[in-house]
Structure 1
């Protein structure tokens, strides 16, 4: 199986990331409405290329992970939060998600973080298993925090020390 190339995003990735976001949107992992068609800017003033790592296989963009701060408070600046992870359908099961997760952990360390956290929907079993296999533990659950696809879904907070 080919190894994905992980790199920092650039502004040139915006179209490909927007397309990937639209193609992978699902209530299995998203709490926001589907990205608007045909195009909604992927990068925002809160989350630009510097906040994203992307994965390529054979020169094709097949995934991304968004890393940011959980709050804007100086007292919380030692923590990073994974604020999004997507892998193209055709690349699932090939190690892309794991490679992105590991790269985000290393990037958080490089930035001087002591902890990394994330939120995952309770029904997203594949993602939860991936995070657990990489050392993340459940630190809290907000029962029925979201109503998605006709069902109430738990919001699960996971984290790990770096």
Structure 2
């Protein structure tokens, strides 16, 4: 039986559902900046120029992964930074793993050596998820953020393409 959820490049028709995901998933446990977009046009402007893959079936967009080089330096062209989000109703269904597997494959095809991401300390589910999917901790940024009256650590994780 064919899996109804597939990974593909973003389409303009995905924007309203991606806007809903962005406006739903971010909070002070997983982002130092609360993402909220008033309109599809505002969201469209934010993602302009980004390489975004979506996990979707015939009816819904379930999640996304956004990849970009960490800086415009030529010496960073073999590395991607990623951001990933899965709609709360679609979490724990393997969507995130499927998105990461797809990005790993695309990175290998593009000659990318390293995929990196940042994750906040209170987001223990995400930390466990990244470790389970082959990411290793590269850095700890102690007391990186001051949110709601408390300091918060931030971690950098990476996956290396062999």
The TM tier, using the shorter chain, reads 0.7 to 0.9
TM value normalised by structure 2: 0.88
User: Is residue 60 from structure 1 mapped to residue 60 from structure 2 by the alignment?
Assistant: yes
- Preserved contact between residue 9 and residue 49 of structure 1 (Cα < 8 Å): no
**CA RMSD between the two structures:** 2.0
User: Is residue 30 from structure 1 mapped to residue 28 from structure 2 by the alignment?
Assistant: no
- 1:39 positional shift: 5.3
Change (3 A) 1:49 1:16: farther
| Unaligned runs of at least 5 residues, structure 1 | none
- Report the equivalent of 2:155: 156
How far apart in 2 are the matches of 1:127 and 1:137? 13
Aligned residues: 159
How far apart in 2 are the matches of 1:150 and 1:55? 36
- Report the equivalent of 2:5: 4
| Unaligned runs of at least 5 residues, structure 2 | none
TM value normalised by structure 1: 0.88
- Report the equivalent of 1:74: 74
- 1:32 positional shift: 1.2
